[in-house]
Each structure stands twice: as C-alpha cells, then as structure tokens.
Amino acid sequence: MAREPLDTSGFEQLVSNSNYCAVTAKIIYEGQKVHFMYREAPVNDTDSGWQFLAGTETDEYLADPDNAAMYRLNTIANFDSAVIPYLGYPVGTDLERIEGSNEFMAIN
C-alpha cells in the first residue's frame, strides 16, 4: 500500500543519535503508541538495532514489508517521547510499556 511521504518538518530535535530504527505503520501512520521496543544487533553503521511495535500487529501484518519502514530515532521520539530514556540500552534489550504509563519494563 503506497503511503504519503512522512512530513517531519515540524519535529523537534529530541535525540542526538541520527541512526535509524524499524517502526511499523501502526505507529507512524495510525498514531498508536509504542508498546514493545527491542534492540537487535545493527545490520550496518546507520542502523541503531531498535525495532518498535504498537502491539496490535498480526503476523500477517508484519509479514507485509509495506507495513514497516526505517526511520531516524528522532522521528520515533517525536511520535512517542516515552522511548527516549531507553534508547541507550544495549543490544538484547526487550521492553514492554507498562499499561497506562510512559514507562517500560524488561521482558524476556
């Protein structure tokens, strides 16, 4: 499904790291908050390794490459600033939002 390019012109500079992260369209285009965030080993020098999910994505939804894309960490921080305190966490981090809050807890 073709989507309009994301207009980030009004975004604030919330994080200094300019690396990219994987984000689903549920967050970017539907405005859902991040429910899960996890960090894998980066695949290149511009990848942060972070992946963000709203928690409402089905396996079928995730299998469609049009439903996720790479965005700068600052972009996701502007959509959901609750992720900012966790962006320095190491590879292997797996977090879930505590329901009704802006805090995340480790899951494994």
Over residues 18-71, the pLDDT tens digits come to: 899 999 999 999 999 999 999 999 999 999 999 999 999 999 999 999 999 999
Better pLDDT: 2 or 51: 51
What does the radius of gyration of the chain's CA atoms come to, in whole angstroms?
13
Query: Mean of the pLDDT values across residues 7-17?
Result: 88
Instruction: Provide the strand spans (E) within the chain.
Output: 20-24, 36-39, 47-53, 68-72, 94-97, 104-106
**Rounded Cα gap, residues 16 and 101, in angstroms:** 24
Q: How many CB atoms lie within 10 A of CB 49?
A: 18
